[in-house]
Chains A and B, each alone.
Chain A
Amino acid sequence: MRPMTTDESTFDPEAMRAGSAAVDRLPRERDQLLPALQAMHDVLHWLPREAISYVASHIRVPVSEVYATTTAYSELRLEPPVVGQWHVCTGVACDLAGASALLEVTPTAARIDCQFLCALAPVVADEHEHLFGRVTADDFRARTSA
């Protein structure tokens, strides 16, 4: 289970206000739970404890249920994203095309499951989730050391 932490150094009250405003625009209905979490996530890029609580009160469901739902979705982060983090797709096609060589070039890069761009393998993603296809080890070294 992922921890539900709020580190003051990464929590941004201004972004939280913007995220809350986005949530406020949604109807206070149960079926808006995921859209509300996504609206927060789009602004904050992760879901701190305060964001979960805000969504819970807006949708009027217990925090525990919002938390249970949040943890079930792999794209909803409960920790702030790591600045400058690169990901290497390790789906079958990317694996065949040399994903492991890319991970050797940049050991700080993290593995990520299929990005559905299999025909352009191997694929990497930058911290903003922008995808790059047909990446060679040299390309990747250049990008990640830039």
Chain B
Amino acid sequence: MTSTALEPLARLRERYPAPRLPRILVHLGTAGDALGAARYVEELRTALGDRADAVYEAASDGANWAAPSATVFQGTYTRRFDRLDLNGIDNVVACFNGDCGDEANYAGTGARGLTARLGRNNGTLGDVLAQGAYVALDRALGITPDQLLHSIEVGGFTGRGGAHFPVASKWRFAAAHSDEPRMLVVNAEEGEPGVFKDRHLLEGDPHRLIEGILLAHHAVGFERAYVYINGQAGQGRASFERALDQAREAGILDGSAWGREFGLDIHVRSGAGGYVCGEESVILNSIEGERPVPRTKPPFATDRGLFDRPTVINNAETLCAVTTVFENPPPPTKLVSLSGDVPRPGLYEVPVDGATTWAGLLAMAGANPQNVQAILLGGPSGVFVMPDQFEDALVMRVLGAGGTVVLGPNADLARVTRDLAAYNMRESCGECTPCREGTARMVQLLESPREHRDEIAALIEVMTEASLCQLGGMAGRPVQSALDQFPAAFED
């Protein structure tokens, strides 16, 4: 890299300096708010007196188990104070004043990568710039779109929304289209029960998503980008829009900070509920103002998508992940939303290079694998991972969107299965018969599955083959997985 390539970033950093140290970040966001963490902002400001301006509101760092929490940044070390109560305020203040005790390090959430800045910034542009934001974009602008596509390909990036499709291939399909303008749709609808990764990314490091969008724009060239955010993720949308304003003001969005004209128009849209709205073609209909139902494929979105234009649809996590493209090597990680019967539920960034097993993931979350009946992976479209698979390595392909619920010794596995089937029935949009009728019939058959094994198998086959989208197409998966692995649970 030449020194001139760094100049625009250096100028940005000069204009938007990082907040000074030491400082305290109180982790709010949706998770902190649900536990009343805002009161600690006030308590700490009162306790610090004339240094009250060193206390900042920040988002969750993913460690939901630790909430309400606050992190002290002292320069050479940090310490997060977990499960704050008002009596613990003195310890936070002491750490701020230089006495952090023996635990002055960072008890984080596993591997670093796209969560490196998550909840560790105060929401200002200066803070994330100091932590490496827009370094990848700066570097990408020094190479051609083709070279960037090549780097994405070599980095092995695949879609993080569940389908695991190679990012570079999808981008190339759209880029190869002479039919302009092209559209980018960012899927942050995240309607799969048990998944809460995109909300964390939007709340805790929205500039990473903006950078991912601009990288995709450099590689493909879009006229417009639509960021489609779950309707209940109000804080995520607010945080993302705040970051857009910051990036606009700084000349990042339009490229003027680099002396360029990006010519990309970014629109933010909110969903309004419904599991099916996470399906990519449903999002296209929703944005166009049509009824939120799936489209038949082909045509594929990269040929004819939003407003009939060539369209790339990427999951929010996917675009965040590509910002690590120039790390050597890019960290092969996947965000896993972990909940259920574990001591430390939260958002984990898990290495998927074959070195981490399910047992390892359970250990990270403080759970003893011997006390786990099964792990539900992928919610209503998912499967049950059984103890005899706990030594299997975690790989991107099986993790889907990364929603995992740990089912402990008291979980009623048959009831969980029936609840998932009932959820799919409620959420079926009704557009196609296999899903509309099939999900309802499945609920009936699961009342006495032993007598209906053949009919269930036939029904799953029809739904899998003939449904218009993957809501119906995958609705049979948890049922099949349950009947294969714990049929006895259904015997009364």
B225 CB-CB contact with A under 8 Å: no
Using Cβ atoms and an 8 Å threshold, which residues of chain B touch A141?
A: none
Check A116–B190 contact: CB distance below 8 A.
yes
Instruction: Verify A92–B340 contact, CB threshold 8 A.
Output: yes
**Contact string, A106-139, partner B, CB cutoff 8 A, digits 1/0?**
0000000111111111010000011111100000
B43-68 vs A, Cβ < 8 Å mask (1 yes, 0 no)? 00000000000000000000011010
Give the A-B contact count at a CB cut-off of 8 A: 138
Asked if A69 and B30 make an inter-chain contact with CB atoms under 8 angstroms apart, the answer reads no
* B272 interface residue (CB < 8 Å to A): yes
**A96 on the B face (CB < 8 A):** yes
Cβ-defined contact, B423 with A72, below 8 A: no
How many angstroms from the CA of A32 to the CA of B64 in the assembled complex?
36
Instruction: Decide if A76 is an interface residue (CB 8 Å cutoff).
Output: yes
Residue in contact with A114 in the complex, picked from B35, B193, B340, CB distance below 8 Å: B193
Interface positions of A from 72 to 127, Cβ below 8 Å from B? 72-76, 90-93, 95-96, 113-121, 123
Provided the pairs A34-B269, A116-B232 are in contact, do residues A73 and B292 lie with their beta carbons within 8 angstroms? yes
Chain A residues in 8 Å Cβ range of B288: 30-31
Interface membership of chain B positions 339-364, coded 1 if the CB is closer than 8 angstroms to chain A and 0 otherwise: 11100011100000000000000000
In the complex, the answer to whether B194 meets A118 with C-beta atoms within 8 Å is yes
- Note all chain A residues with C-beta closer than 8 A to B376: 92
Evaluate contact between A96 and B31: CB separation under 8 angstroms: no
User: A62 contacts the other chain (Cβ, under 8 Å)?
Assistant: no
Q: Is the CB of A119 within 8 A of B65?
A: yes
Interface set, chain B 298-314, CB cutoff 8 A to A: 307
Return B69 CB to nearest CB of chain A, in Å.
13
Cβ contacts under 8 Å, B289 to chain A = 29-34, 59, 61, 69
Does A35 sit at the interface, judged by CB under 8 A?
yes
The CA of A74 and the CA of B195, in the complex, are separated in Å by 18
Tell which of B404-412, B442-450, B469-477, B481-489 binds the partner: B404-412
A residues within 8 A CB of B291? Answer: 65, 68-69, 72
In the complex, residue of chain B having the shortest beta-carbon distance to the beta carbon of A95:
B419
Task: Report yes or no: A75 in contact with B273, Cβ–Cβ below 8 A.
Answer: yes
B405 touching A96, Cβ below 8 Å: yes
A130 to B194, CA, bound (A): 19
Interface residues of A in 24-63 (CB under 8 A from B): 29-35, 37-38, 59, 61
Closest chain A residue, CB of each to CB of B365: A119
B34: chain A residues at CB < 8 Å are: 117, 120, 123, 131-133
B230 at the interface (CB under 8 A from A): yes
On chain B, the residues within 8 Å of A113 by CB distance are: 193, 423, 426
Q: Which residue of chain A has its CB nearest to the CB of B31? A: A120
Q: Which residues of B contact A34 (CB under 8 A)?
A: 269-270, 272, 286-287, 289
CA distance in complex: A37, B27 (Å): 33
B293 and chain A: residue at smallest CB distance = A72
Do the beta carbons of A92 and B416 come within 8 Å of each other? yes
Asked if B196 CB lies within 8 Å of chain A CBs, one says yes
Instruction: Please tell me if the beta carbons of B340 and A93 are within 8 angstroms of each other in the complex.
Output: yes
Q: Kindly identify which residue among A29, A38, A65, A93 contacts B405, using a CB–CB cutoff of 8 Å.
A: A93
Q: Which residues on A sit within 8 Å (CB–CB) of B420? A: 92
Chain B residues, CB < 8 A from A117: 30-31, 34, 196
Q: Return the contact of A91 from the options B65, B194, B269, B410 (Cβ within 8 A).
A: B194
- Bound-complex Cα distance A96 to B270 (A): 30
Quick check: A133 and B341 within 8 Å, CB to CB?
no
Bound-state CA distance A37–B193 (Å) is 25
B272 near A38 with CB under 8 A, answer yes
In angstroms, Cα B291 to Cα A61, docked, is: 12
* A116 neighbours in B (Cβ, 8 Å): 190, 193, 195-196, 199, 230, 232-233
> In the complex, which of the residues A29, A69, A121 contacts B339, with contact meaning CB atoms closer than 8 Å?
A121
Contacts of A95 in B (CB 8 A): 416, 419
* A69 vs B291: C-alpha distance when bound (angstroms): 5
A/B interface sample: 14 pairs, CB < 8 A: A30-B288, A32-B289, A34-B289, A74-B272, A91-B193, A92-B193, A92-B340, A92-B405, A95-B416, A96-B340, A118-B194, A118-B196, A120-B345, A134-B35
Q: Which residues of B contact A (CB under 8 A)?
A: 30-31, 33-35, 64-65, 67, 190, 193-196, 199, 230-233, 269-274, 277, 286-293, 307, 337-341, 345-347, 376, 379, 405, 407-408, 410-411, 416, 419-420, 423, 426, 429
A sample of 19 more A-B contacts (CB under 8 A), given A31-B307, A114-B193, A116-B190, is A30-B288, A38-B270, A68-B291, A72-B274, A75-B231, A76-B273, A92-B339, A92-B405, A96-B341, A113-B193, A114-B379, A115-B232, A116-B232, A117-B34, A118-B337, A119-B346, A120-B64, A130-B33, A133-B31
Nearest 7 A/B pairs, CB to CB:
A33-B289, A114-B193, A74-B273, A119-B64, A118-B339, A75-B273, A73-B272
